[in-house]
Amino acid sequence: MISRPLNVAIIGAGMGGLATAAALHKVGIDVTVYEQARQFARVGAGIQVGCNAMKVLRGFGLEQRMRSQSFYPRSWNNRDWRTGEVKFDMIFGESAEAKFGAPYLLAHRGDLHAALASAVPEHCVRLNHKLVGLDETADGVRLTFVDGTIATADAVVGADGVHSVVRDILFDTPPVSYTGRIAYRTTYPAALLNGEKIDDCTKWWGEDRHIVIYYVKPDRSEIYLVTSQPEPEFRVESWSTKGDVSELRKAFAGFDRQVEQVLASCPDVHKWAIVDRDSLDRWADGKVTLLGDACHPMTPYMAQGAAMAIEDAAVLSRCLDGVDRSGIADAFRRFEATRRERTSRVQATSRANTWLRQKTNADWVYAYDAWTVPPAA
């Protein structure tokens, strides 16, 4: 008698949840993704897709799609806020692709999310499902949703972000904390620059703030900007909250002319409070595990938050591949053991906000291959 495939429920249809669904589906595991939102929204944001994440996306068959929709930068430039002096120019392009085994791309966040969604069968994604309860049973895990719906699965993956409901159900841990910093962000048509040129990708380092600006389309038709600056009293954490462009311009007055030009042309912005949360002593409990920001939240300063969740997905699929129901808890243990050291290092480096500020050996980040890294015993 042939046993049925594992059935895994994934909570959250963000980058990590969809990547997990794609990775598990790839090894023959049945997946259902439960997302509390009623529909997917295309937020106006860019995302840097590092060589390490691109290797995973290649495994999903998404490399050519991402290349066709994204910008291929020569480098990630790091400049002094006032003088424009180059502190460190991290070269990407063809040389980095040859060195690290995959391209470094600058994308619209919506394009990456849509690409990952395309790698998951549509019938596997259930929108408008807000989780409120988890109970492990002799046969697996029972999931309860806010509308009273009940579902069962052999195992559950909580990929529901820094505010993870799964984390709160499993563990008694402190809530998210506000960092005292805020970010402005937006994308807008590069035509609004009226012919002014910008670097492919630049982080302008100020004394207590910074701004990152880059293209997100292969024809340089759209640009993205995101900032970080102190504003301890602001506590609204929402991707849809509007910010005041005039306040943004004041906050970066005196920065290099290229920054001032980009902000002068900017039609509108969003604003959100940057939060953080302590990592966990353990990620799993029985047949339930956390993944991505749900267990190792990342501040945005290395552009590696989504990449870590995408790497997690590939490693988890390798740990679960060929495992029967009795081996789920051990597979989750091996997943955590394989990933903890790396995610902790990225988390600490990102929090310090010094990444690429000066000459940096980035090999340990971009050379990583989640498909081939030796799994823990």
Which residues are known to be catalytic?
Answer: 214
* Distance of alpha carbon 18 from alpha carbon 310, whole angstroms: 9
β-pair partners for 136: 141
Do 225 and 212 contact (CB within 8 A), yes or no? yes
Query: CB of 188 within 8 A of CB of 267?
Result: yes
Chain-centroid distance of CA 238 in Å reads 16
Task: For residue 107, give the DSSP letter.
Answer: E
CB atoms within 10 A of CB 77: 22
Per-position DSSP letters for 19-85, written without gaps between them = HHHHHHHHTT-EEEEE-SSSS----S-EEEE-HHHHHHHHHTT-HHHHHHHSB--SEEEEEETTT--
Contact by Cβ (8 Å): 210, 227: yes
Q: Are strands 201-205 and 75-80 parallel, antiparallel or unpaired?
A: parallel
CA distance 49 to 72: 10
Are the CB atoms for 280 and 167 separated by under 8 Å?
A: yes
List C-alpha distances in Å: 126 to 122, 149, 247.
9, 12, 40
- In DSSP notation, 268-330 reads -EEEEEEEE-PPPS-SEETTEEE-GGGTS---GGGS-HHHHHHHHHHHHHHHHTT--GGGHHH
Q: How is 150-193 classified by DSSP, letter by letter?
A: EEEESEEEE---TT-HHHHHH------EEEEEEEEEEEEEGGGG
Q: Distances from the Cα of 36 to the Cαs of 146, 311, 337, 355, in angstroms? A: 9, 23, 30, 34
